Amino acid sequence: MIIIMLGAPASGKGSVAEILTKELNIPAVSSGDIFRKHISEETEIGKKLKEYVTKGELVPDSIVLEMLEARLNEEDAKNGLILDGFVRTIPQAEALDKMLEARNQKIDLVVNLETSDEEILERVVNRRICKNCKAVYNTVLHPSAVKGKCDKCGGELYQRDDDTLERAKNRLEVYYKETAPLQEYYEKTGALYTTTLSVKINRMKDEVAHDVIEYLKTK
């Protein structure tokens, strides 16, 4: 089973994917985590990635697809996976369709999360991440018990370089221009499932994930 998490930056894709991976017993693959791993290890791909990620711009399709194909070939992905951050453009979606077709696979579901721009910007600028276990907090909505320390492992919390208001606005602009058209693309294939995740209307990640699981039972 191949599931794509679609939605604007900080719309909650990773949080829902984390729950789905446990329920469906398939791994969740975050493009952001893979990108940051290459950047931190200063690989050749990482050096190229850094130029785009730090500016909040889309990474070229050729680089994205190279990493995605390698991930699909790993042992834990043999029964499928959840793609968080892949794909981001229609050309990427078309290339992925061809790649999966060659493997006798297909996109089973595209979960499209809707959240207001105002709430997304609030999430981004207040987001903090544990340097050790990568747990995610929000200084307003979900603060740690001890300021600057992770509740799970005691690690130091930090703000990513690209989690600024200016870069968040730029990422949203790029999303609406390059990625949002994928909604129509996947709607035509019958794979799109649109739902809302919003703290302000008390529709949380657990409820969204539950609805996705129930929807899959009808397919």
Residue 17 belongs to domain with CATH number: 3.40.50.300
167 catalytic per annotation? no
Q: Which domain holds residue 12?
A: 2-115+180-218
170 pLDDT above the threshold of 90: yes
Q: How many domains does the chain have?
A: 1
Percentages (nearest 5) of helix, strand, coil residues in the chain: 50, 20, 35
* Residue-wise DSSP of 43-106: -HHHHHHHHHHTTTPPPPHHHHHHHHHHHHTSGGGTT-EEEES---SHHHHHHHHHHHHHTT--
160 catalytic per annotation? yes
The confidence score (pLDDT) of residue 148 equals 95
Does residue 160 sit within a domain?
no
Which has the closest alpha carbon to 30: 58, 66, 71?
A: 71
Crossing angle between the packed helical segments 44-53 and 31-40, to the nearest 10 degrees: 120
Euclidean distance between CA atoms 209 and 202, whole angstroms: 14
Does residue 187 sit within a domain?
yes
Active-site position among 36, 160, 169, 203:
160
Give the pair of three-digit tokens for residue 149: 């320390």
33 pLDDT above the threshold of 80: no
Does residue 49 sit within a domain?
yes
pTM for the whole structure = 0.82
Does residue 173 sit within a domain?
no
Does residue 143 sit within a domain?
no
171 catalytic per annotation? yes
Are 6 and 108 in contact by the 8 Å Cβ rule? The answer is no
The confidence score (pLDDT) of residue 19 equals 94
Active-site position among 123, 128, 171, 205:
171
Categorize the per-residue pLDDT at 184 as very low, low, confident or very high, splitting at 50, 70 and 90.
very high
Active-site position among 13, 128, 167, 205:
13
CA angle 184, 54, 68 (to 5 degrees): 50
Active-site position among 123, 127, 128, 205:
127
The confidence score (pLDDT) of residue 134 equals 87
* Residue-wise DSSP of 5-61: EEESTTSSHHHHHHHHHHHHT--EEEHHHHHHHHHHTT-HHHHHHHHHHTTTPPPPH
Percentage above 70 pLDDT, the chain = 100
Does residue 142 sit within a domain?
no
152 catalytic per annotation? no
Which has the closest alpha carbon to 158: 191, 134, 186, 188?
A: 134
Which has the closest alpha carbon to 174: 57, 4, 52, 48?
A: 57
13 catalytic per annotation? yes
The confidence score (pLDDT) of residue 146 equals 96
